[in-house]
Structure 1
Amino acid sequence: MTPAARVQAAIEILDHINQGTAAEKALTTWARRARYAGSGDRAAVRDHVFQALRCRRSYAALGGGTNGRALMRGALIDAGVALDTVFTGDGHSPAVLDTEELTKGRDPAAGAEQGNLPDWLWKRFETALGTGNARLSAQILQQRAPVTLRVNSRLSTAPQAIEILKEDQITVTSCDLIDTALIVIEGARRVAGSRAYCEGYVELQDASSQAAMAALSVAPGSRVLDYCAGGGGKTLALAARVTADWFAHDANESRMSDLPRRADRSGITVTCLETNAIADAAPFDLVLCDVPCSGSGTWRRAPEAKWRLTSERLEELCVLQRDILQDAASLVAPDGQLAYATCSLLPEENDHQVTRFIDQHPDWEITLQKSWSISEWGDGFFLASLKRSGQKT
C-alpha cells in the first residue's frame, strides 16, 4: 500500500467508528477484507486511526469536520504534510479535496479542544490536577504509549532479560519508575513471539502498574486474592516478588482464560475462583481490588474510551467501585490488608472513594496512599492500602 492508500483506509475505518463500531472491531473488519495489506500496512493504518482518536478534537478543528476525511486532513496538517500530495485521487488514494474542504479548518481553541477532551471532562481534569498539570497530562495522552515489559524476578534479572531480548532483535532501555521495567525502543512487534516472552522472562505491563504492585507489602506465605483480576498481570507482578498462595477472580471469568498459561510460564501457580467459590476460600491476608474505572490514566492506549465516557457512566462506575470495595472488605482476614487501585486520574474514583469507605467504616484506616501521574514512561495510577484500626503495618 502507498502512504496515501493507508490514509484512505484510515478514513474508511474512522467513518465506521463514528457510526458506533468499536475501534478494534473496525480495524479487524478492514484487515480481513484487505487481504492485500501486509503487516507493515496494517500497523501503519492502525497508527493513523489511533492517533486520530487521541487527537480527535484538535484534528477536527484543523480539518474542518469530524468525518474520516476531515480527521485525516487535520492529522496531515498537524504533521506538516502537504494535502495535495495525499488527496490525489490516484489509485487507492483519497479523492481530491473540493473547494469547501479546502476552505474549512482553523486552529484548535485553548482548553478542551487543544487538550482533546470532552468539555465536561476537561473541567474535571482542571479541578483535579490544576490547569498546568491538566494541560501536561492531556498533552501526554495525545502521544503513543510506550511498550513496557516487566522482568520476572523469579526467572531473570534485568541484564539477563535484556540479553535474551537481543536474540530476537528487541532493544530496550531501563525506566526510572521501577527497576523491573524495560521500555521497548526497537522491535516491539516481535515481543509476543520472542523467547524472553514465551519462556516467562518478561511480561507486558505498564511501569506505573509495576511500581504500584512493588509498593504493596506482601508477607511470605500469605493468601492473596486479586479480586478484579482481568488478565492477572498484577497477580503475576506480586508473585514474582514473594512466595505465597495466589488466587484470582473476575466477574467476567473469560478475562482470566489465559492466566493459568501465563502463570505456568512465569513459574507460579494461581487458583482461579468463580464468584460462588470466593466465600468458601476466604479469608485472605491481602485482597487487591483493581476496580473497573474510567481508565483516564490509560487513554493514550484506548483513546476511544474518553469519547464514549459520559458523566452518567462515570457515576455508574463510582457506584460499582463502592460496591466492590464493600464486598471485598468482608473477605479480608482480621489482620489482613485491603488494597484499592485504579488507572484513573479522577479524584471521584480515587481518594474520594477511599475517604468515603473510611467514613463509613471507622474501624479501618489508610496505611498507604499514592498516585502516579501520567508520564512519558508510565500511565496514571492510584493505589491505597487499608487495614483495620490498631493493626501494625
Structure 2
Amino acid sequence: MTPGARISAAIEVLDQILAGQPAEQALLRWSRSSRYAGSGDRAAVRDLVFDALRCRNSHAALGGALTGRGLMIGGLCAAGQDPALLFTGQGHAPAPLVAGEGAGSAEGVSNLPDWIRPLWDQSLGDSAQAVAAAMQHRAPVWLRVNGIKADAAEAIRVLAGDRVDAMPDPRLATALLVTGNERRLSQSRAYRDGLVELQDLSPQLACATLPVAPGMRVLDYCAGGGGKTLAVAGRSDRLTLVAHDADPARMRDLPQRAARAGVKVRLAPDPAGVFDLVIADVPCSGSGTWRRTPDSKWRLTEKALLDLVALQAWILRKATAHVRPGGHLAYMTCSVLDPENDAQAAAFLAENPDFRQVSRHLWTPLDASDGFFLALLARR
C-alpha cells in the first residue's frame, strides 16, 4: 500500500470508531476485509489510527473536522508535513484538500474529554499537564525477565538472537525496555520459552514492592491474564499461588502462560480460606494506560466512572475476607484518578479499622511508564 492508501484506510477505520465502534474491532474488521494489506501495512494503519486517537481533539482542530479525514489532515499538520502531498485523489489516496482543511489551530486544545480535565488536574496536581502531554505519545514496550529461567543478561542475549533489541532498566533487575523490532517479540525464542513476559514497567515496580517470602500463600483476586501472579511467582520459591477472576474466561491463557514460565498456579472460581497476600488489581478507568488504548478515554463517561468506583469498593470488601490477621492486601489500579486511588483506599480504611496503610505509590509516564497506583494495606 502507498502512504496515501494507508491514510485512506486509517480514515475509514477512524470514521467507524467515531461512530461508536471500539478501535480494536474496527481495525480487525478492516484487516479481514483487506486481504491485500501486508503485515507492514496493517501495522502502519494501526499506528496512524492510534496516533490520531491519542491527539483526537488537537488533530481535529488542525484538520478542520472531527472526522477520520480531519484527524488525518491534522495529524500531518502536527507532524510538520504538507497534507496536500498525500491528499491527491490519485490511486487510492484520499481526495485533494478543500478550502479550510488543514488551516486550523490547536492552541489551547486539550486531548482529554472536557468533563474529566478538572478531575485530572485535581488528581495529578502540578504534574497534570506534563502527564497529559506524555499520554499523547506512543507507549514503550517493556518486558519482565522470568527469574526462574534467566537473568537480564541472558534474556537480552537470547532476544538479540532473534533480532529483538532490549536494554535493562537500572531501577529493577527484571525490567527490560524493548528498543528495536518489538513486533518480532511474540515469535522470539525468549518469549516462547518463558524467559520473558510482556509487562509494563509500572506494574513490575508495584509487584516488586510486595512483601513476598518463601512458603507464602498468595491470592490474585482479579487475576485476568495472570500478569501479577507470574510476577510474584518469579520473586520467591515454594509459593502457593491461587488465581481468581469474576469472569473465569479472562484466565483462559493463564495455565499456558504459567507452564511456559515454569510455575504452578491454581485457578479458583470460588476461592476459600485466608492468604498471606491478596492482590486486587481492580477494574478501573484505565486512565493510566490511555496512550495504549486511546479510544477508551473518549468512551468513558461520568456515570461509568461512578459505577467503576462502586465496583472497586465492592471488590475490596470481598477480597478482605481472604486476608489473614497480619496479612497484606495490595490494592492496585492502572488509573491516575483520585476517586479510584487514594480516595478509594481512604474509604476502605475508614470502613475497616483493623487495616492500616503500609505504603502508597502512584507511577506515571514521568517517572516510570504507564500510570499505575498501589496502596499496600496490612491487617492488624
TM-score interval, smaller chain? over 0.9
Residue in structure 2 matched with residue 126 of structure 1 by the alignment? 121
Deviation at 1:7, TM superposition (A): 0.4
Q: Is the 8 A contact 1:296 1:343 kept in 2?
A: yes
* Structure 2 unaligned spans of 5+: none
Q: Is the 8 A contact 1:177 1:207 kept in 2?
A: no
Q: SS state of the match for residue 115, structure 2? A: helix
Residue in structure 2 matched with residue 164 of structure 1 by the alignment? 158
1:354 pairs with one of 333, 345, 368 = 345
Deviation at 1:377, TM superposition (A): 5.0
* Structure 1 unaligned spans of 5+: none
Deviation at 1:261, TM superposition (A): 0.6
Residue in structure 1 matched with residue 230 of structure 2 by the alignment? 236
Provide the identity percentage. Answer: 52
Distance 2:124 2:236 in 1: 35
Distance 2:170 2:74 in 1: 35
Q: SS state of the match for residue 60, structure 2? A: helix
Q: Tell me if 1:261 matches 2:251.
A: no
Q: Is the 8 A contact 1:86 1:94 kept in 2?
A: yes
Q: Tell me if 1:150 matches 2:148.
A: no
Residue by residue over 1:273-308, the C-alpha shift from the partner in whole angstroms, topping out at 9 and shown as x without a partner, is 11xx21xx3111111000000111111000011101
Q: SS state of the match for residue 101, structure 1? A: coil
Q: Is the 8 A contact 1:371 1:382 kept in 2?
A: yes
Distance 1:174 1:38 in 2: 32
**After superposition, where does 1:78-117 map in structure 2 within 5 Å?**
78-101=78-101, 105-110=103-108, 113-114=109-110, 116-117=111-112
Q: SS state of the match for residue 101, structure 2? A: helix
TM-score, scaled relative to structure 2:
0.97
Between the two proteins, the alignment pairs up a number of residues equal to 379
Distance 2:84 2:173 in 1: 48
Distance 1:39 1:388 in 2: 51
Q: Tell me if 1:374 matches 2:333.
A: no
Q: SS state of the match for residue 57, structure 1? A: helix
Deviation at 1:375, TM superposition (A): 3.0
Distance 1:178 1:208 in 2: 11
Give the alignment's Cα RMSD to 1 decimal.
1.2
Distance 1:377 1:331 in 2: 31
Deviation at 1:152, TM superposition (A): 0.5
Q: SS state of the match for residue 305, structure 2? A: helix
Deviation at 1:107, TM superposition (A): 1.7
Deviation at 1:52, TM superposition (A): 0.4
**After superposition, where does 1:64-83 map in structure 2 within 5 Å?**
64-83=64-83
Distance 2:367 2:68 in 1: 28
Q: Tell me if 1:194 matches 2:214.
A: no
**After superposition, where does 1:1-393 map in structure 2 within 5 Å?**
1-101=1-101, 105-110=103-108, 113-114=109-110, 116-130=111-125, 132-243=126-237, 244-274=239-269, 277-278=270-271, 281-375=272-366, 378-389=369-380
TM-score, scaled relative to structure 1:
0.94
Residue by residue over 1:154-196, the C-alpha shift from the partner in whole angstroms, topping out at 9 and shown as x without a partner, is 1101001000001100111122442211111111011101000
